[in-house]
Amino acid sequence: MVLRRKRNPLFTIAALAVGVAVILSGCAAEEDVEASGSPSPSPTVSPSPSPTPSPSPSPTPSPTEEQEPEPTQDDTDGRPQASNPRGYDIDTPSSITVVVSKTRPLLDVEYEPETVPSTVHSVNGQPLHPDANEALAAMNRDVTAATGTGFVLCSGYRSYWYQHDVYNNFVNSHGQEAADRTSARPGHSEHQLGLAADIMGEGQGCALGDAYTNTASGQWVNENAWQYGFILRYPDGLQGIVGYHYEPWHWRYVGEDVARDMHEGGYDTLEEYFGLPNAPDYL
Ligand SMILES: [Zn+2]
């Protein structure tokens, strides 16, 4: 794959200045480089073989492949597929319900969302997707009214190339194995969607950890974020499903419908909700 390099000078500066903090914080772990190869596992595939006549171009038929009809498999690089996507679009990068993980890189790895400046104070100036921004601002207003303390945005939208620099700087100084443990590869990050918000309490700085979640304000957010369309993407103890350790600061905007449905149905992860295979590591 040939990737055209286009960089905003702001990102270059910010990548150097903020990248270190991001890496040290651990939240850089959500990003990744490039899918190195694509095996095509499909453990829990839809049992419904409906041979709907799809206009998919069906490229070179491989004679060794099984002939099971799997109508939605063609354009997704062999990534694990949902057995029941519930009608939501979990593949298109601009969909607010897109699922991005270690096994599901963005289909357009250099995808750039529409963003707006964050209404909530953005410590490093990173913007957000307009929908996520509006919801986050509303949540901050309400948590401030309820508890007297709000939060700040420590990380919002990060571009593919921003993460590319952060990751490669880490590889150059510590080696790829260490980089993969600590940083992550571009093209696999929810932050590239503009829909992820790393937050910490006002006055707590941005050394991401559990300081905020242990406050009354943080508890309020934990209990009410779903009403604003946010889910805690990397819950405690579910690394084997989501691929990352507990990140009490990382909130993902999925829209109010999905967030409410997950809350009411008792679903902790997008993988479980959409019937996706676990995503513990890169393919
Ligand atoms: Zn994050």
Report pLDDT digits (tens) over 200-231.
999 999 999 999 999 999 999 999 999 999 99
- What is the architecture of the domain spanning 86-156+195-274? 2-Layer Sandwich (3.30)
Task: Please name the amino acid found at residue 200.
Answer: M
- CA–centroid distance, 249 to ligand 1, in Å, is 7
pLDDT at 121 over 80: yes
Q: Are strands 151-155 and 230-232 parallel, antiparallel or unpaired?
A: unpaired
- CA–centroid distance, 75 to ligand 1, in Å, is 28
What DSSP string describes 75-107?
TTTT----S--TT---SSTTSTT---BTTB--S
- CA–centroid distance, 187 to ligand 1, in Å, is 14
DSSP code, position 277: P
Q: Are 168 and 150 in contact (CB under 8 A)?
A: no
- Residue 21 is predicted with a pLDDT of 42
Sign of CA dihedral 76, 80, 82, 83: positive
- Residue 172 is predicted with a pLDDT of 94
Tens-digit pLDDT profile for residues 37-95: 333 333 334 444 444 444 444 444 443 434 433 444 445 566 666 665 688 999 999 99
- CA–centroid distance, 26 to ligand 1, in Å, is 9
Closest residue by Cα to residue 189 from 133, 110, 267, 77 = 110
Beta-ladder partners of 210:
none
- CA–centroid distance, 85 to ligand 1, in Å, is 24
- CA–centroid distance, 11 to ligand 1, in Å, is 17
Beta-ladder partners of 252:
196, 231
Report long-range pairs for 163-166 (Cβ below 8 Å, ≥24 apart): 163/28, 163/31, 163/32, 163/187, 163/189, 163/191, 163/192, 164/33, 165/11, 165/12, 165/15, 165/16, 165/19, 166/15, 166/19, 166/22, 166/23, 166/28, 166/31
pLDDT at 177 over 70: yes
- CA–centroid distance, 72 to ligand 1, in Å, is 30
- CA–centroid distance, 68 to ligand 1, in Å, is 38
Closest residue by Cα to residue 142 from 230, 18, 204 = 230
Q: Are 163 and 9 in contact (CB under 8 A)?
A: no
- CA–centroid distance, 259 to ligand 1, in Å, is 18
Q: What's the pTM value of the predicted model, to 2 decimals? A: 0.75
- CA–centroid distance, 88 to ligand 1, in Å, is 23
- CA–centroid distance, 106 to ligand 1, in Å, is 16
Q: Are 47 and 193 in contact (CB under 8 A)?
A: no
Tell which phi-psi region holds residue 50, choosing left (phi > 0), alpha (psi between -120 and 50) or beta. Answer: beta
Q: Are 229 and 220 in contact (CB under 8 A)?
A: no
- Residue 20 is predicted with a pLDDT of 40
Lookup: tokens for 276 = 């996706």
pLDDT band of residue 180 (cuts 50, 70, 90) is low
Contacts of 134 (CB under 8 A, 6+ apart): 119
- Residue 283 is predicted with a pLDDT of 84
Contacts of 190 (CB under 8 A, 6+ apart): 30, 100, 196, 233, 250, 252
Mean local confidence (pLDDT), 112-126: 98
- CA–centroid distance, 42 to ligand 1, in Å, is 28
Q: Where are the domains of the chain?
A: 86-156+195-274
- CA–centroid distance, 197 to ligand 1, in Å, is 6
- CA–centroid distance, 70 to ligand 1, in Å, is 33
Tens-digit pLDDT profile for residues 250-270: 999 999 999 999 999 999 999
- Residue 41 is predicted with a pLDDT of 38
- Residue 31 is predicted with a pLDDT of 36
